[in-house]
Amino acid sequence: MQYQGVLKKMATENLETVQYYLDMETDFLNMNQLLNKELEFHFITYECLSCGLEKEIYRQGFCKKCFFETAKAGDWIMRPELSKAHLGIEDRDLEYEKQAQLQPHIVYLANSSNVKVGVTRKNQVPTRWIDQGAHEAIEIVEVPNRYLAGITEVALKEHVADKTNWRKMLKNDIEDESLESWQEKLREFIPEEAKAYFIENNKETSINFPVEKYPLKPKSLNLKKQESYKGKLVGIKGQYFIFEDETVFNVRANEGLVVKIVVK
């Protein structure tokens, strides 16, 4: 069987084990069913996720022009505290920004290699946690817009990490933490404007990834350089495919690449 399409981050479902779906244009592949199969990946070309043109991808699946122009790549996406739609101030496209920013957001703690704080739209829970490869996570506050979430994250970053270590996450070099006690411990550092949105009596969510064998020394596949790769899929965690030879492939970091996948 072979499939071709532009890579976009996989859709997921948090069942007993996370289910992963890769959209390959004419087919919607449940990647869990491809575990323990030999897969071949071929790099074909680029396709910008915004303009659809065959242009080299710069960042986040966008060509350079789109990255600097599309409303979907404004600075407030990576830095929520820069959000201004609640003041009616436009960054690139106020209508888009109002829709994206003026909706419930969650500031959360997720543990993938260490406990870290993050921000997501409420409707992206638990998707965001799955994408990060977190085996446990908890909501701290639910606020009505992205700005409030952003300033809360900035304040909490002084007391907890905001980055994960992808190698540790993939090696499954992890420790269980009581995120309920972390949430309680961080409570006093929430900014005044967001304190009323603290979520009381919350319980952490556990996530189980479909991984049969964790790599000891994960090495990252650069499909653009290598052009093709063949390996046996032994796991999926976060947005990474894990192969038997310890090669790992970050689907999200390769958005916008058109690939052909051959299933042996």
Question: Given the complex with Zn ion, which of 5 and 80 has the nearer CB atom?
Answer: 5
Cβ 227 to Zn ion, closest distance in Å? Answer: 22
Question: Given the complex with Zn ion, which of 65 and 232 has the nearer CB atom?
Answer: 65
225-244 binders of Zn ion (CB under 5 A):
none
Is residue 18 involved in binding Zn ion (CB under 5 A)? no
Stretch that binds Zn ion, among 47-55, 114-122, 164-172, 179-187 (CB under 5 A): 47-55
Count, residues near Zn ion per rule CB under 5 A = 5
What is the rounded CA–CA span in Å between residue 263 and residue 248? 17
**126: cis peptide before it, omega within 30°?**
yes
160-179 binders of Zn ion (CB under 5 A):
none
Is residue 51 involved in binding Zn ion (CB under 5 A)? yes
Is residue 110 involved in binding Zn ion (CB under 5 A)? no
Cβ 58 to Zn ion, closest distance in Å? Answer: 9
Is residue 257 involved in binding Zn ion (CB under 5 A)? no
Question: Given the complex with Zn ion, which of 69 and 81 has the nearer CB atom?
Answer: 69
Is residue 263 involved in binding Zn ion (CB under 5 A)? no
Stretch that binds Zn ion, among 40-48, 135-143, 154-162, 252-260 (CB under 5 A): 40-48
Cβ 53 to Zn ion, closest distance in Å? Answer: 6
With helix as H, strand as E and coil as C, how does the chain read? CEEEEECCCCEEEECCCEEEEEEECCEEEEHHHHCCCEEEEEEEEECCCCCCCCCCEEECCEEHHHHHHCHHHCHHHHCHHHCCHHHCCCCCCHHHHHHHHCCCEEEEEEECCCEEEEEEEHHHCCHHHHHCCCCEEEEEEEECCHHHHHHHHHHHCCCCECCCCHHHHHHCCCCCCCHHHHHHHHHHHCCHHHHCCECCCCCCEECCCCECCCCCCCEECCHHHHCEEEEEEEEEECCEEEECCCEEEECHHHCCEEEEEEEC
Cβ 81 to Zn ion, closest distance in Å? Answer: 27
Contact code string over 52-91 relative to Zn ion, x by CB under 5 A = -----------x--x-------------------------
Cβ 62 to Zn ion, closest distance in Å? Answer: 6
Query: Contact residues for Zn ion (CB under 5 A)?
Result: 48, 50-51, 63, 66
